[in-house]
Amino acid sequence: MSARPLYTVLLETALALLPLTTQGIFVAGMITVWQGIIDGQPAFFSFVETPGESDAQISIGTSAPEGSKAPAGDLCRFWVPAAACSDEWRQQFWADYQANPAFRAAVDSFYRLDEPPEGPDYGDAIGIALEAQSDVPIAISRSIEELQDLDVYIAEAHAGSTLRPPYLRSTTPIPGPLLALLKEAGFVVSALQVSIDCSRAHPHLLLAASAAFTITLENWRTGHIVPHHWYRDLWRPQIMPSPLIPLTTDDEQTFKARWLERQLAWAASKLAWGGISEGDLHKLHSGRDAFSRLKHDDLLNHLSLTAKPSPLSEWEEVYQLRILRWMCRGAPLTLAMHKVATEVAFEGKARERSQSG
């Protein structure tokens, strides 16, 4: 059995120790962990920010409930620009991801998560090669060997992937003709280093840059050089106007309704985990909407019910209407009852304060 990624182990440890919505500081930066449900299985969303870096990493996976034999798994991992990811964007993304299989497929495509996982970098690969008595298992291995034959000692290198840029670092000067070729190909070069000026939040660009980097090095090694602009055209046009996947194109009124639906889905997932608070319920606001004036029969018709749910018989009629209205807005029955119970308790405390004052 292959070893599980360290970040997965750390996240599952965090999930076992921390509440449903968590913000914490760890040695490398700030991590936010939210829990939810995907296809009936407990899941987590993490957002990791590292000081000094413009990109943050989003990780999503499933975690087995205590006592369950269901396997945990990593669903996706990708980079986004930290400054562009507001708390509202992340909540909306997470609600969409949980509720909509089509959106999950769109995320896979947008962030190129259908690509194979990244390979080891040069330092790791050398260790693997020596242990397995095989060639260095990276796409640029022959080019590195050629540089070594020229007494250019490579300290670190990676062919690139959707999660990290291609790069090359040497302890001795890289040959001038190779640096000139890589510079014309659009890479950032110095005497001892080759890199790209690209955020990890652009996976399409990273993947294209990886191919261009590998082809450029291989053509230099074999001497089959094509016009230099061809190498640049392999990857520079892949820059996306925005590295954030679009979440909605609705007009303002529709957006508000959809936003409330997402908030309700978020609250329902927290309730299912047993971790919803009064504060969470107070944050659910509908304002005056199409359901605010509807009466009992109209509400039941909207919900396609012939009779009110049996648990409502224990409530006064005025509160039954409130519960039905929240159900019409998208809240499950249990969440709707929790929401109204919180409202009733808050209103009772407010009356007591006004009477005592």
Total Cβ atoms within 10 A of residue 304: 6
For residue 121, what are its two tokens?
């970098």
Residue 218 pLDDT exceeds 70: yes
Average pLDDT, the chain: 76
Average pLDDT over residues 16-45: 67
Q: What percent of the chain has pLDDT over 70?
A: 74
- pLDDT for position 301: 92
Cα–Cα distance for residue pair 68/40, rounded to 1 Å = 13
Cα–Cα distance for residue pair 162/61, rounded to 1 Å = 18
- Residues 35-54: tens digit of each pLDDT: 888 887 888 899 998 888 88
- pLDDT for position 272: 66
Cα–Cα distance for residue pair 115/117, rounded to 1 Å = 6
Cα–Cα distance for residue pair 122/170, rounded to 1 Å = 11
Which of 51, 41, 99, 101 has its CA nearest to residue 72? 41
Cα–Cα distance for residue pair 225/231, rounded to 1 Å = 10
- pLDDT for position 122: 47
Contact 119, 58 (CB under 8 A): no
Helical residues (DSSP H) of 223-294, grouped into ranges:
228-233, 252-272, 278-282
Give ∠ CA 111-46-269 in degrees, rounded to 5: 105
Cα–Cα distance for residue pair 74/295, rounded to 1 Å = 46
For residue 41, what are its two tokens?
């299985």
- Give the side-chain half-sphere CA count within 13 A for 250: 10
- pLDDT for position 320: 92
Q: What is the DSSP string of 173-230?
A: PPPHHHHHHHHHTT-EEETTEEE----TT-HHHHHHHHHHHHHHHHHHHHT----HHH
- Residues 336-349: tens digit of each pLDDT: 999 999 999 888 88
Residue 254 has φ and ψ, to the nearest 5°, of -65, -40
332 contact partners, CB below 8 Å, separation of at least 6: 268
Average pLDDT over residues 287-316: 89
Average pLDDT over residues 1-26: 42
Confidence of residue 22 (pLDDT cuts 50, 70, 90): very low
- Residues 220-265: tens digit of each pLDDT: 998 888 887 788 877 776 665 567 887 755 455 665 666 677 678 7
Average pLDDT over residues 265-282: 73
Residue 24 pLDDT exceeds 90: no
Residue 310 pLDDT exceeds 80: yes
> What is the value of pTM for the model shown?
0.51
- Residues 156-186: tens digit of each pLDDT: 888 887 777 888 889 999 999 999 999 998 8
- Residues 129-159: tens digit of each pLDDT: 333 333 343 568 888 889 989 999 888 888 8
- Look up residue 172 and give its amino acid: T
Residue 273 pLDDT exceeds 60: no
- Residues 91-114: tens digit of each pLDDT: 889 988 888 887 887 788 777 775
For residue 202, what are its two tokens?
């652009």
The set of long-range contacts for 240-243, using a CB threshold of 8 Å and a minimum separation of 24, is 240/202, 240/204, 240/205, 243/80, 243/81, 243/84, 243/199, 243/201, 243/202
Contact 161, 206 (CB under 8 A): yes
Which of 158, 188, 176, 168 has its CA nearest to residue 220? 176
